[in-house]
Structure 1
Amino acid sequence: MPETKSSSSSGAIKFAKDVFAGTCGGVAVTLVGHPFDTVKVRLQTQSSTKPVYSGAIDCVRKTIQWEGPKGLYKGVASPLAGQMFFRATLFTVFAQAKTYYSKDEQGRPIIPSNLNLYKAGAITGFLAAFTEAPIDFYKSQLQVQVIRAQADPNYKPAYTTVPQTVRATIQHNGIRGPFQGLLTTIVRNVPANSVYLGSFEVLKKRAAASYGCTQAELANDHPFTVLSAAGVGGLLYWGMIFPVDVVKSAIMTDSIVPAERKYTGMISTAQQLYAEGGIPRFYRGFSPCLMRAVPANAIMLYTVDKVNAMLK
């Protein structure tokens, strides 16, 4: 019995540490990366026939001109408020998956293989999609309102804050409302997080072997190595699945009223986007996304590792 209590207490403490470290990393990535995300989503979703922005720089300029600097943080309340839940899920699941692959069939500790680290990332991506999709949905709905206003002078948004958006979506679609685009999020997340988190861990494992230290010591002793590994992981994430993210953005920024939607499914949405502009249509907003990928992901994963190291 004492062993059971001790094990339960240890597990609860580890979970709390994962939640805290993940939340710190999530807040860091949101503050650093949200302006880039706003530009990405607006370029991805603007009209092909009457574009509001000519490119990333023009989008930043017009956003500041029309909305002030705070316009770059449009919809930031949704990802900030949801970071505890999303990052807790992301890093707790990833930590548990790594723990599972860190034992042999007899329960003895082993170093997980590279393949199993990528598997752990894939599992994480699938489960994290269920908390990430609603956060992305609310954020995206608010980010594109300025495009609709520029396209239609008579446009008046039915909601301008996250709470108002939540009420409106639930009113029209019930509890399914926040999950508009969930399937596409899963299709994006599974391979992307496999490459993202798996590569981060593999690069750290190799670096630790090269330096002759443990991975836990890297954040304190070799911070640039951790930042570099995280940055590479971020580039691989977006380089691999950006077209799927464009499809996701189109679905998530569509009308919350089912009868008014232009995009009704992942495959049909991809077909419509291709008809609008061929392959280049799936790479709108790619440059600000890549600009965001290295610093934002480097800061997030380094923060998580650093906080975990401090807590230990």
Structure 2
Amino acid sequence: MSKTVRDLTAGTAGGIAQVLVGQPFDIVKVRMQTAPKGTYTGMLHCAGGILKNEGPLAFYKGTLTPLLGIGVCVSIQFGVLEWLKRSFANQNLRKGKGGEGGRTLSGEQLFAAGVMAGLGNGVVSGPVEHIRIRLQTQSNTKPTYAGPFDAIKKIYAAHGIAGIYKGQAVTLLREATGYGVYFMTYEKLIQREMAKKGIRRDEISPMNAVLYGATAGYALWAVIYPIDMIKSRMQTDGFTSSTGQKYTSTLDCVRTVWRTEGIGAFTRGLGPTLIRSPFANGATFLGFEMANRLLSSW
């Protein structure tokens, strides 16, 4: 199996693990981010309302889209990341730095690889998350869309490809910034353990992979949460003035939220995100590392 195919396959395993673990927390986050101020008193109020009014399966509402799409997204992330890591390692080797095989990359190299991984991922994650958020926030009694494919069909018919990619500019900003920090944090922790213990990557404990993934997840959200909130607002906004459009652009969204709701709106829904992060991101890296070890033995 080629290294690229292995990376893409292992990335898909990590993406599926991420969705299955993180989806219930994500719907609470999105509801809190997009609801009018004062709708929920906190995370438990929001989660309790979903459970009471919509039932336990509501926590997996819109899961099919991310299960299919996020698997592809994380596959792209790791595919781009690992390819660039190998490219940087070859550069280091030619320059006589980076240790054995040039594989000890600098923070700048890892950040750059993460940024490119995020941009590659953003091309797919933008529409995937847009459709997921539409399904997560629609009325349970009179839903606009019957499911992800119905949502894609209706949005495309009414607004074209631009409708599918609504909120894409802020999505790309979020992905590039966040994944630069995300992968740099994880890889530096991996490097540290390998150097400290004198071990190979495949000898690192799976529990440490979970721990490092959880830490990387917290670093990611510490940087991007306000951007993510704006993305959610843009992706739940109406498409035109006749369909309830509130924001004319990303900057208009930032200004409007700041003026009408204050700085607190930019961190609304942070609680479920911080609870979700160690589980979802730990599962992502555990899925990737374990799948990679298994595939490497074939």
Cα distance in 2 between the residues matched to 1:67 and 1:171: 29
Cα distance in 2 between the residues matched to 1:258 and 1:210: 59
Name the SS for the 1:101 alignment partner: helix
Find 1:144's aligned residue among 125, 137, 147: 137
- Give CA-to-partner distance per residue, 1:43-100, whole Å, 9 cap, x none: 000012xx43221101111111111111111111110121342122111011111111
Find 1:157's aligned residue among 138, 143, 147: 143
Find 1:96's aligned residue among 62, 72, 83: 83
Moved more, 124-133 or 257-266: 257-266
Cα distance in 1 between the residues matched to 2:31 and 2:133: 9
Name the SS for the 1:104 alignment partner: helix
What residue is the counterpart of 1:281 in the other structure? 265
Gaps of 5+ in 2: none
Find 1:189's aligned residue among 175, 187, 203: 175
Cα distance in 1 between the residues matched to 2:77 and 2:156: 25
Asked if 2 retains the 8 angstrom alpha-carbon contact of 1:39 and 1:56, the reply is: yes
Q: Which residues of 2 match residues 26-37 of structure 1 at below 5 A?
A: 26-37=15-26
Percent identity (aligned): 30
What residue is the counterpart of 1:126 in the other structure? 119
Asked if 2 retains the 8 angstrom alpha-carbon contact of 1:29 and 1:300, the reply is: yes
Asked if 1 retains the 8 angstrom alpha-carbon contact of 2:7 and 2:75, the reply is: yes
Query: Match of 2:23, as an amino acid?
Result: H
Asked if 1 retains the 8 angstrom alpha-carbon contact of 2:15 and 2:75, the reply is: no
Name the SS for the 2:272 alignment partner: helix
Cα distance in 2 between the residues matched to 1:172 and 1:259: 13
User: Does residue 102 of structure 2 align to residue 116 of structure 1?
Assistant: no
Asked if 1 retains the 8 angstrom alpha-carbon contact of 2:178 and 2:223, the reply is: yes
CA shift for structure 1 position 263: 1.6
Change (3 A) 1:70 1:46: same
Query: Match of 1:29, as an amino acid?
Result: Q
User: Does residue 220 of structure 2 align to residue 237 of structure 1?
Assistant: yes
What residue is the counterpart of 1:5 in the other structure? none
User: Does residue 178 of structure 2 align to residue 178 of structure 1?
Assistant: no
Asked if 1 retains the 8 angstrom alpha-carbon contact of 2:15 and 2:72, the reply is: no
Name the SS for the 1:245 alignment partner: helix
Moved more, 175-184 or 36-45: 175-184
CA shift for structure 1 position 257: 4.4
What residue is the counterpart of 2:255 in the other structure? 271
Q: TM-score, normalised by structure 2?
A: 0.92
Gaps of 5+ in 1: 1-9, 150-154
Change (3 A) 1:258 1:177: farther
Q: How many residues align?
A: 289
Asked if 2 retains the 8 angstrom alpha-carbon contact of 1:19 and 1:84, the reply is: no
Cα distance in 2 between the residues matched to 1:117 and 1:217: 21
Q: Which residues of 2 match residues 49-128 of structure 1 at below 5 A?
A: 51-104=38-91, 106=94, 109-111=101-103, 112-128=105-121
Cα distance in 1 between the residues matched to 2:144 and 2:116: 37
- Give CA-to-partner distance per residue, 1:104-128, whole Å, 9 cap, x none: 2748831222221111111111121
Q: Give the ranges of 4+ consecutive aligned residues of structure 1 lying more than 6 Å apart after TM superposition.
A: none
Cα distance in 1 between the residues matched to 2:111 and 2:47: 36
Cα distance in 2 between the residues matched to 1:84 and 1:277: 35
